[in-house]
Structure 1
Amino acid sequence: MKTAVITGASSGFGAALARKLVSEGHTVLGLARRQDKLDALAAELGERFIPVSVDLTDRARAEAVLTDLSARFPAIDVLINNAGLALGVDKAQDAKMDQWDTMVATNISALLHITHALLPGMVKNNKGHIINLGSTAGEYAYAGGNVYGATKAFVHQLGLNLRADLSGTAVRVSTVAPGLCSGTDFSAVRLGDKDKAAAVYQNVDALTPDDIADTIAWIMNAPAHMNVNYIELMPVAQSFAGLSIHRKA
């Protein structure tokens, strides 16, 4: 059995992942900001789920918590960088700078803080697996996707570059890029309106958090000699829109 760290563990993909991995007998260190939701999940899942309340965007606080975590659990097998968010769908010229800053802090800086803290231990032990949550938004541009899409493109490219740096070790790195997925707070947070968020998934058989959890469990349980570099998932109902052309009046 493995010891896995999951960021953003209190809801959505993170909570589904925690349930999946605990059900398979793994130990899960669930990191998130919301202590009440972590406590509720701990009450549900039992002793194999260890709640850790931390804001990974706060570098000093994150370093203190992660140093303690590494001391208590010196052999962390899997880091699942799941925490992330999108804010707004305004075009870049109309977007709010504070929303951009928050997306960069959460989707990039927080991921870097925990990866930088835990990766040396994996290299020292010559085993481990980093699994990052990307997005189809990191591959396919769309109006209003601007900085969110850019942060997810960063996640994908970081994974590839980590693989290059880790050549010669047994440490694996994977990126999972979901498309349209219901059953999370993602669209409600992004749009700030529950009704608008519900409309995104209306009459669509979208992916679910369990689909993502099952995929990640398969990746982390794959043979040690096998690395899934990148995997992209979409519901059958989602496809490609083609390039936009603006015609003169």
Structure 2
Amino acid sequence: MSSPHAATSRIAVVTGASSGIGAATARQLDASGFHVVAVARRADLLKSLVTSLSSATAVVADVTSDADVSRLSEVVAGLDGSVELLVNNAGGALGADPVESADLSDWQWMFDVNVLGTVRVTKALLPLLERSGRGTIVVLSSTAGLIVYEGGGGYTAAKHAQTAVAETLRLELNGRLVRVVEIDPGMVKTDEFAVKRFGGDAEQAAAVYAGVEFPLVAEDIADCIVWTATRPHHVNIDRLVVRPLAQAAQHKVHRVL
């Protein structure tokens, strides 16, 4: 489904666009003049997002599905414009168990969506991004991709792997006109991330942000993504680490209790 003004000269693809950082990024890219291809599994939320944008196409797809990503690539290739930006935002965390009692199905899901999903979509759209002559791939990793913490083994392992993918891809694309940007947010409060991680336990999710007056929000990270993507194309922001002022490090958070 597309908005009435689908034809444009600049196309940006955003995965995980149905809520949170993905939806905020889609809105800010739309405001910056991109035609946004919003990708997610939830059709109802995608439809609501796309109808609120001036120039957008919704593609219902799961980044862990080869067939879905192939169909996404076909849709994007058929649009009137230059595919200049891919934001690999789809991802997430499940559980907070120690390694010795790890739920391997949770680990499998985190690797599938964060790591293999990023690789799958990047592989599919890289030819189009390179063809534009000014392609940019944004990988939304996390500060969890830079340092580990207790109870986060599955998520930190997946995010470390995603960071490794971004770094490797940048080396492999050297000399070609495609930038690779890694964004590593710290504590970001969204409607769904922590709730999903803790199996729908809203009280446990709220405890993560307890006493933090001003955590980051989705719009803050979207602003960072759009800023990196709209620099002159010879400027590559390799890695942008962003935390709220209250979070000095992964384990150092000021709380007003």
Runs of 5+ consecutive residues of structure 1 not aligned to the other structure: 243-249
Please name the residue that 1:8 is paired with.
Answer: 16
- Quote the Cα distance in structure 1 between the aligned partners of 2:209 and 2:241: 19
Distance 1:74 1:92, change over 3 A: farther
TM-score, normalization: structure 2?
A: 0.89
Aligned-residue offset at 1:241: 6.3
- How many equivalent pairs are there? 241
Please name the residue that 2:240 is paired with.
Answer: 231
Q: Deviations over 1:160-207 (max 9, x none)?
A: 111111111221010000000112311000012111111211221111
Distance 1:73 1:153, change over 3 A: farther
Please name the residue that 1:247 is paired with.
Answer: none
Aligned-residue offset at 1:73: 5.2
Residue 32 (structure 1) aligned to one of 31, 40, 46: 40
- Quote the Cα distance in structure 2 between the aligned partners of 1:59 and 1:73: 24
- Quote the Cα distance in structure 1 between the aligned partners of 2:208 and 2:130: 42
Q: Partner amino acid for 1:8?
A: G
Contact 1:136–1:179 (CA<8 Å) still a contact in 2? yes
Residue 138 (structure 1) aligned to one of 142, 145, 152: 145
Aligned-residue offset at 1:58: 1.2
Contact 1:74–1:121 (CA<8 Å) still a contact in 2? no
Q: How does 1:203-214 map to 2 (within 5 A)?
A: 203-204=211-212, 205-214=214-223
Q: The residue matched to 1:211 in structure 2 has which SS?
A: helix
Say if 2:143 is the partner of 1:117: no
Contact 2:37–2:76 (CA<8 Å) still a contact in 1? no
Q: How does 1:86-235 map to 2 (within 5 A)?
A: 86-192=93-199, 193-204=201-212, 205-235=214-244
Q: Partner amino acid for 2:42?
A: R
Q: Deviations over 1:65-88 (max 9, x none)?
A: 323322335631000000001000
Q: How does 1:44-55 map to 2 (within 5 A)?
A: 44-46=52-54, 48-55=55-62
Range with bigger deviation, 68-77 or 161-170: 68-77
Q: The residue matched to 1:76 in structure 2 has which SS?
A: strand
Sequence identity, in percent? 37
> CA RMSD for the aligned pairs?
1.5
Q: Deviations over 1:28-78 (max 9, x none)?
A: 0000000000011122224x1211101111112322332332233563100
Residue 63 (structure 2) aligned to one of 50, 56, 63: 56
Aligned-residue offset at 1:232: 0.5
Distance 1:75 1:241, change over 3 A: closer
Runs of 5+ consecutive residues of structure 2 not aligned to the other structure: 1-8, 252-257
- Quote the Cα distance in structure 2 between the aligned partners of 1:103 and 1:7: 15
Q: The residue matched to 1:4 in structure 2 has which SS?
A: strand
TM-score, normalization: structure 1?
A: 0.92
Q: The residue matched to 2:78 in structure 1 has which SS?
A: helix
Please name the residue that 2:91 is paired with.
Answer: 84
- Quote the Cα distance in structure 2 between the aligned partners of 1:241 and 1:179: 7
Contact 2:11–2:81 (CA<8 Å) still a contact in 1? no
Contact 1:13–1:184 (CA<8 Å) still a contact in 2? no
